Structure 1
């Protein structure tokens, strides 16, 4: 049963990181139109998620973890809006460096990865149940 438990641990780590990734993506989307309240402040800066793998030497299984939640240092897009309180002396407002299309693609990928890990857990549960049923049938 150890390989089955190892499979559960690996897929559980996958669920956890994809859940964190979905949280970051949703925060990015929620703040995609947030500007600063004054000209000298930066608007919301897009967050990024980095993963790392960890080898369990006892089982040989490789789990995944979030290694860092970072910041995207790309330039802020500018929009001409002289009436905005965050506009500079030329009337330009710095907008968040969030591209909603990229965030939606990341969300879809994270969702599919989450579902795949969930399916692994369902399969392991079914195998454990079948094994228990076979042991009880003796």
Structure 2
């Protein structure tokens, strides 16, 4: 029985971590056209849970250190004397792929949680007999 509870705790931690990742990805997409914006990344860290289960949690958010795009537009208010300004380093295709991956992982964790819940209910029903 404790294995099933550990499975549910592990799945719940995965859902929490993926929802945090999805929130960061949506912030990146929303700021893709913001000048000087750096893409945020959220690493996952292993987490020890009760009942001997392992879980995961979202780590500290950090900024992507890849170069930001330089854009030529002399009419932009942030443009320097050379007519260039810094864009962002957000690539929409990468963010959409990350969002899809987070969504699929969340769904897989949810299915695992539901399955463990059904199995726990079945065990309790057997014990009541």
- TM-score, length basis structure 2: 0.93
Which region of structure 1 is more displaced relative to structure 2, 125-134 or 73-82?
A: 125-134
Distance in 2 separating the partners of 1:134 and 1:102: 48
> May I ask how many residue pairs the two structures share in their alignment?
129
Structure with the larger helix share = 2
Q: Gaps spanning 5+ residues in structure 1: where?
A: 36-42
Q: Does 1:109 align with 2:101?
A: yes
2:58 aligned partner: 66
Aligned residue for 2:61, secondary structure, equals strand
Structure 1 residue 61: Cα displacement? 1.8
Q: Does 1:51 align with 2:44?
A: yes
Distance in 2 separating the partners of 1:88 and 1:73: 22
Structure 1 residue 135: Cα displacement? 2.6
Structure 1 residue 133: Cα displacement? 2.3
Distance in 2 separating the partners of 1:118 and 1:87: 47
Aligned residue for 1:119, secondary structure, equals helix
- TM-score, length basis structure 1: 0.88
Distance in 2 separating the partners of 1:87 and 1:75: 17
Structure 1 residue 47: Cα displacement? 0.3
| Residues 77-129 of structure 1: CA deviation (Å, up to 9, x unaligned) | 01111111011111112111100111011111111110000001110111122
Supply the RMSD in Å over aligned alpha carbons. 1.3
1:85 aligned partner: 77
Aligned residue for 1:68, secondary structure, equals coil
Moved over 6 A (4+): none
